[in-house]
Structures are given as structure tokens and as C-alpha cells.
């Protein structure tokens, strides 16, 4: 049964493209090809174009049924590498990428998103102004990227998330049910779910998998996770109930 459900979730995504969208895909595909030849300045151009194709679901024009199939067919890179490079190209400048490298920048962006949520406003981010707390010699210091390693930043992100989780009350059964449903698909495990005061909040939903996430959430058995209210006996009924005689 579990295998059948997973195969249904990974089924071909049907997206119809207009003529204008197909032309946009062709232009972006050419940009990717041209940028790949430009080793000095093409990295940023390439991954910005890839990001637009994934965000707008233009990969359908390549005759594939999912973004992962497009990545394997056209880019021939791992999914993790592709999404990391797209994120770095969005948030960092070409000079930032040369100075600190995509792996460190990706870790820094993950820290900033864990602290502030999805980054909006002016892009790229002023990475030279970022300071991240790390423990050095038994003391906590706020250091810039020139003094940080990827391991330092990952540790700071983990500590930040643990602190936020410890500040929260125990997640509700409904929240747990939604989280478990999303965990069934590897592409959706980074989505954050919060349930409180009758409201469901979602964050970090990959745009390329937005439809899939909504379908899984609709199919999740969250109704079965509702707590069952205990029946209360009214004071009036207690008073009117006949008392048994002792003996």
C-alpha cells in the first residue's frame, strides 16, 4: 500500500504551457547553454536561468513529467547540487561566489532563513555584513564569513533551530499528522508545518513541488488526528441522580 501511494505521488505532472511560455523556455535553455561555455562569468547566469525554469514549471517544454526528470536529462547534476546552486545564484553576487564558494553561501542562507524565514527584499544579500555566533575557546563570538567554515555555520543553524523548537509547546496531533504525510516524499521533507489557534502555517515549500505538496496535504488523515472531546456530566444531572443507600 505504501509503495502504491508513493508511486501515485510521483506520477507525471500535467502542466499545459502557452506559446509564450514555450518561447521563454527556449530562450532560457539557450542562456543555460551559452552560460555553460563562459567559465569566468557564466555560473551566475546559468543558475538564475535554471531557477526561473524550475519556479515557472517551464521544464514541461522539454517533454518530461517532473522537475527531477528535467534535471537528470538536461543538467545531469544531482538534485541537491542544482537546488543549492539556484539558491546561491539568487542570494549572492558573482563576486560573493568567487570569494566564499557556493557551499558556504548555501549554509549561510540556510542559517538566515532559519532565523528570519524566507529572505525577501533587496537581493543579493549583503553577505559581508552577516555575523554568525560560533563558540571559539569556550566563548561565543559573532564572526563574518571570512572566519567561518561550513561546519561552523551548520552548527549555528542546528543550535538556532533547536532553540526555536524548545520554545514551542508540544506539536498538536494534527500538526504531527501533516508532517508525517509530507515526510513520505523526499522532496518535501524541508517543509515546515505549524498548527495553532485553528490556523495551519507552511514554510519552505519548493515552488517546483507546490502542487504535489498541496495534494499530499489534502489527502493526509488530519481529521483522524483531532482530539476526541470528553463528555462532561452537568452539575444538574449529578444532583438529580439518585443516591444508593449504603448496605
In the structure, what pLDDT confidence band is assigned to residue 3 with cuts at 50, 70 and 90? very low
Candidate from 166-170, 180-184, 215-219 with smallest mean pLDDT: 166-170
For the chain, give percent helix, strand, coil, nearest 5: 60, 10, 30
Specify the 3-state DSSP secondary structure of 10.
coil
Nearest residue to 28 (alpha-carbon basis) of 7, 8, 56: 56
Binning pLDDT at 50, 70 and 90, where does residue 168 land? Answer: low
pLDDT at 23: 94
Indicate the pLDDT class of residue 175, thresholds 50, 70 and 90: confident
Q: Which three cell numbers stand for residue 17?
A: 504551457
In the structure, what pLDDT confidence band is assigned to residue 125 with cuts at 50, 70 and 90?
Answer: confident
Q: For 7-18, what is each residue's pLDDT tens digit? A: 444 445 556 788
Summarize pLDDT for 7-56 with one digit per residue, the tens. 444 445 556 788 999 999 999 999 999 998 887 678 889 999 999 999 89
The confidence band for 120, taking pLDDT boundaries of 50, 70 and 90, is low
Residues of the chain above pLDDT 90, percent: 35
CB within 8 Å of 113: residues ≥ 6 apart: 119, 204
Whether 203 contacts 119, CB under 8 Å: no
Q: What is the pLDDT of residues 83-93, one digit of tens each?
A: 999 989 888 88
**CA distances for 227 relative to 172, 199, 221, 222, angstroms:** 9, 16, 13, 10
How far is the first Cα of the chain from the last one, in angstroms, to the nearest whole number? 59
Total-model pTM: 0.58
Nearest one of 205, 200, 202 to 225, comparing CA atoms: 200
Count how many residues are written for the chain. Answer: 247
Listed residue (110, 74, 78) closest to 92, CA to CA? 110
Q: Which residue has the cell 521533507?
A: 189
Q: pLDDT band for 4, please (50, 70, 90 cuts).
A: very low
Amino acid at each position: 500500500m505504501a509503495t502504491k501511494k508513493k508511486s501515485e505521488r510521483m506520477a507525471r505532472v500535467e502542466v499545459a504551457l502557452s506559446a509564450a511560455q514555450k518561447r521563454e523556455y527556449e530562450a532560457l535553455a539557450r542562456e543555460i547553454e551559452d552560460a555553460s561555455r563562459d567559465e569566468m562569468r557564466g555560473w551566475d547566469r546559468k543558475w538564475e536561468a535554471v531557477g526561473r525554469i524550475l519556479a515557472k514549471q517551464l521544464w514541461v517544454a522539454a517533454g518530461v513529467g517532473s522537475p527531477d526528470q528535467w534535471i537528470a536529462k538536461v543538467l545531469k547534476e544531482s538534485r541537491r547540487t542544482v537546488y543549492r546552486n539556484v539558491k546561491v545564484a539568487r542570494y549572492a553576487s558573482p563576486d560573493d561566489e568567487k570569494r566564499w564558494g557556493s557551499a558556504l553561501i548555501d549554509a549561510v542562507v540556510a542559517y538566515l532563513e532559519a532565523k528570519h524565514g524566507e529572505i525577501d527584499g533587496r537581493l543579493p544579500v549583503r553577505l559581508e555584513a552577516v555575523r554568525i555566533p560560533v563558540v571559539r575557546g569556550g566563548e561565543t563570538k559573532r564572526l563574518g564569513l571570512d572566519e567561518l567554515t561550513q561546519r561552523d555555520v551548520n552548527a549555528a543553524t542546528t543550535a538556532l533551530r533547536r532553540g526555536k523548537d524548545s520554545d514551542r509547546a508540544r506539536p498538536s496531533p494534527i500538526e504531527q499528522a501533516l508532517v508525517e504525510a509530507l515526510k513520505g516524499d523526499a522532496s518535501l521533507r524541508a517543509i515546515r508545518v505549524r498548527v495553532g489557534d485553528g490556523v495551519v502555517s507552511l514554510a519552505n515549500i519548493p515552488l517546483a513541488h507546490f502542487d504535489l505538496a498541496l495534494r499530499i496535504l489534502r489527502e493526509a488523515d488530519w481529521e483522524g488526528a483531532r482530539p476526541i472531546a470528553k463528555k462532561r456530566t452537568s452539575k444538574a444531572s449529578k444532583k438529580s441522580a439518585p443516591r444508593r443507600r449504603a448496605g
